[in-house]
Amino acid sequence: MNFFQLVRKKKELIPLIAFVSFAGLGATYMSIYSLFKTDVIVNRKKNPEPWENVNPYEPQKLFTIHQKWEPVEELKTVKQLTK
């Protein structure tokens, strides 16, 4: 209750608390979001080469504008030759 009494007395702290809370939530969200990306390795022993499982048709960026995702033909031929 001491925190709420302080905020009631000093109303100029409300925007500061809002911005710090928003930044903390944003940082937490991005760190959790990044853990589930395909280019992040959490357990190297289970999947030592995770880049083999990346779908070339699925964008890997957080935000893209009018980009066409196509696999590189040279990579497809190299992958077929190594199998």
pLDDT mean by block of 10 residues, the chain; 83 residues:
86 93 96 76 69 71 70 80 77
Whether residues 30 and 55 fall in one domain: no
Positive or negative CA dihedral for 71, 74, 76, 78?
negative
Residues 53, 24 share a domain: no
User: Domain of 22?
Assistant: 1-36
pLDDT of residue 41: 67
Helix (H) or strand (E) holding 20: helix 13-35
Do 82 and 48 fall within a single domain? yes
Kindly report the pTM of this predicted structure.
0.48
Task: Output the pLDDT for position 18.
Answer: 94
- At 4 the pLDDT is 86
Residues 31 and 53 in one domain: no
Q: How many domains, in total, are found in the chain? A: 2
Same domain, residue pair 81 and 54: yes
Q: Are residues 26 and 7 in the same domain?
A: yes
48 lies in the same domain as 83: yes
Same domain, 31 and 15: yes
- 21 and 53 in a common domain: no
